[in-house]
Amino acid sequence: MINRLFNLFENIAKEAGSADPENNENIVLAATALMLEVARSDQMKQSVELTTIEKVLTGTFEIASERTQELMTLAAEKVEAAHDLYQFTQVINDIFDYNQKKKLILAMWQVAFADGQIEAIEDHIIRRIAGLVHVAHNDFIQLKIEARETRKETPYR
C-alpha cells in the first residue's frame, strides 16, 4: 500500500512538474494538509495514519525526515487556523487535472484505511474534499472501494 502511495504522489509531482519551488511546496503543503485533515477528523490521529503521510512525503517528494516533520507541523498549523478547506482545495483545483485529483482522493482513502477502520467523519471529510475538487461521486465511491481492496490485500500493520 505504501509503495502505491509513493508512486501516486511521485506521478502527481511529475505531472504537476512546476519549475517554481514555491509552487511545488504549495502543492505538497496542500496535499499534506488535506491528508492531515482526514487523519485528524476522527479526533484520534493514529500513528499509523501519520506514518502513512510521512512515508508519502519522504518517499515520493524526497523530503528529508526533519523537513517532513516541519512540513507536517506547518500543514497542521494551517489546518488548525483555516476556517474551511478552500485554501487547500484551491491549490489542488488550480494545479491538478482530474486524474491527479482522483489520485489524491485515493491517497486520502488510504490514509483513512491505514488504521483498519473508517469512521463516518472520515468518510464525510473525504466526500466533502472530493466535492470541493470536483471529483464525481461515482469516482469517489470507486476510489473508496479500491483503497479498501488494497487494504485487504496488503494490511499495513
Q: How many residues does the chain have?
A: 157
The pLDDT tens digits of the residues spanning 83-132 come to 899 999 999 999 999 999 998 999 899 889 988 888 999 999 999 999 99
Q: What is residue 154's DSSP assignment?
A: S
Q: Can you give 6-38 as a three-state secondary structure string?
A: HHHHHHHHHHHCCCCHHHHHHHHHHHHHHHHHH
pTM, 2 dp = 0.81
CATH of the domain at 48: 1.10.3680.10
**Contact predicate 45/39, CB 8 Å:** yes
* Residues 6+ away with beta carbon under 8 Å from 32: 53, 57, 71, 72, 75
Query: Each residue of 53-92: pLDDT tens digit?
Result: 887 777 766 778 888 889 999 999 999 999 899 999 999 9
Candidates 81, 77, 107; CA nearest to 92 is 107
Is residue 4 scored above 70 in pLDDT? no
Domain that holds residue 109: 2-153
Q: What is the pLDDT of residue 54?
A: 87
12 and 94 Cβ atoms separated by less than 8 Å: no
How many domains is the chain partitioned into structurally?
1
Cell of 7: 508512486
> Coil, helix or strand for 148?
helix
